[in-house]
Amino acid sequence: MRRLVTLAMWIGFLWLGCAAFAQTPATMLSALTQPQDYALKRFSSFDRTGANHDSREIAPGETLVLLDSAGPGMISHIWITIAAREPHHLKKIVLRMFWDDEPAPSVESPIGDFFGLGLGEYYLYQSYPLAVGADKALNSFFPMPFQRKARVTVTNEGEQRVDNFYFNLDCRIYPRPLPADTLYFHAQYRQASPAKGWTNDWKTNGDAIVDKKANLRGEDNYVWMEASGRGHFVGVTMSILQNQDFWWGEGDDMFFIDGETTPSIVGTGSEDYFLGAWDFGDHPFSYGLFGAPVKGGERAGSRSSVYRFHLDSPITFTQSLKATIEHGNANHRSDNYFSVAYWYQTEPHAAFPALPAVDLRLPRLHPVGGPGSAPR
């Protein structure tokens, strides 16, 4: 009986770790009175000599291992800060995570995009699972369980040395295997630079040629992620560099669950999916589950960054999931999109798309035609 109670308590603690950022501060504080059945380990860049040089250098082309640990365990927090002279180093350093000796990573993204900085520049915001604090402090609170082994790396794909890369990764090590149905954390980078709008023969988003265009099956939508297996989608961060004038967010989110050809979840507009309204108003904002911490004007060259986390009700799937959003109504616009989708699922996972080359990841304007843009 005591063994059953202990196992149930331990499973409850694991669930608490996976759901903690969806709870109120009061419930998280009340949980501190319960005993914990793990040993906390920290993997960091501290100076092994005992001196004060607590960072690592990363030469061009070099891979730095941040964590390589046997399980069972769960990464509970990641903190990183970077001092690098190279412009857009946030797009040029690639973060990867591998669970249980898998050959392909479950997480692969430029490091800035993983932390919601999809335009290669720093800004401050605060959400439950991700936050960027003053100054240039990158934080993740996503729980990342593993049964046998976890390996976290960063690779410098830039042309200059990263002078100072600081990191602290907190990891719970458990005395017994995780429950057999534990889902693994995944994060996938995607981009469209530019998205391929089906026309540039329009003057405003409200033109009849585009406003009355139907798109019931999501053809040519921008894809955040595709997965096969069983799991649930927990959110997305996305950045947009406009190639064209006017509001970029006339597109609807569409989720295709378990092989659907017509989406069973369909939204009413991009700002609506990201839980804002009316083109996000006139100022940036960030909250626990949603935000637009960068809010550009409605013109070519403007930059915006947004996020939405489904921690209240993750979008579940038992066979497959395709998460998408239109780029303009029925995909008429040709702006640049950079995104990272976050989800949990069983292993093995489907193959990720190849990570674009460094020069293709950099945010730059493209001549696509249409309002405010040079002809194609």
Residue 334 confidence (pLDDT) above 60: yes
Residue 362 confidence (pLDDT) above 70: yes
Closest CA to 286 of 130, 111, 139: 130
Strand pairing category for 137-140 and 130-133: antiparallel
Residue 93 confidence (pLDDT) above 70: yes
Q: Cis link prior to 314 (omega < 30° from 0)?
A: no
Closest CA to 219 of 188, 190, 254: 254
Residue 5 confidence (pLDDT) above 50: no
pLDDT of residue 108: 98
Closest CA to 240 of 338, 163, 330: 338
Residue 19 confidence (pLDDT) above 60: no
Mean predicted confidence (pLDDT) in 19-25: 55
pLDDT band at 23 (very low <50, low <70, confident <90, very high): low
| Backbone dihedral region for residue 178 (phi beyond 0: left; psi -120 to 50: alpha; all else: beta) | beta
Domain 184-361, CATH 3.30.1490.20 — does that match? no
pLDDT band at 91 (very low <50, low <70, confident <90, very high): very high
pLDDT band at 9 (very low <50, low <70, confident <90, very high): very low
Q: Report which residue type is found at 264.
A: S
pLDDT of residue 27: 75
Residue 259 confidence (pLDDT) above 50: yes
What is the rounded distance in angstroms from the CA atom of residue 26 to the CA atom of residue 357?
Answer: 45
More confident residue, 202 or 31: 202
Tell me the domain boundaries of the chain: 1-36, 38-173, 184-361
In which element (H, E) is residue 185 found?
strand 184-192
In tens, the pLDDT along 294-333 reads 999 999 999 999 999 999 999 999 999 999 999 999 999 9
Q: What single string gives the DSSP state of each residue in 20-78?
A: GGGS-HHHHHHGGGS----EEEEEE---TTSSS---EEE-TT-EEEEEEEESSEEEEEE
Lowest mean pLDDT among 3-17, 26-40, 121-135, 308-322: 3-17
pLDDT band at 26 (very low <50, low <70, confident <90, very high): confident
What is the rounded distance in angstroms from the CA atom of residue 350 to the CA atom of residue 55?
Answer: 35
CATH architecture classification, 38-173: Sandwich (2.60)
Q: Report which residue type is found at 63.
A: T
Structure tokens at 230: 């069983």
Q: Report which residue type is found at 132.
A: V
Mean predicted confidence (pLDDT) in 23-37: 82
> Would you say 24 and 150 are in contact if contact means Cβ atoms under 8 Å apart?
no
DSSP 355: P
Mean predicted confidence (pLDDT) in 195-199: 97
pLDDT of residue 4: 40
Percent of the chain with pLDDT over 90: 90
Lowest mean pLDDT among 12-21, 67-76, 133-142: 12-21
In tens, the pLDDT along 198-227 reads 999 999 999 999 999 999 999 999 999 999
pLDDT of residue 13: 38
Q: What is the pTM of this model?
A: 0.93
pLDDT of residue 30: 84
More confident residue, 4 or 152: 152
Give Cα separations from 223 to 16, 41, 84, 96, 191 (angstroms): 31, 37, 31, 20, 9
In tens, the pLDDT along 108-145 reads 999 999 999 999 999 999 999 999 999 999 999 999 99
Residue 2 confidence (pLDDT) above 50: no
Q: Check if 38-173 and 184-361 are the same fold.
A: yes
SS3 content of the chain, % helix, strand, coil (to 5): 15, 35, 50
Please report, to the nearest 10 degrees, the dihedral formed by the alpha carbons of residues 75, 95, 138, 248 taken in order. -120
Q: What are phi and psi of 9, to 5 degrees?
A: -65, -45
The mean of the pLDDT values for the chain is: 93
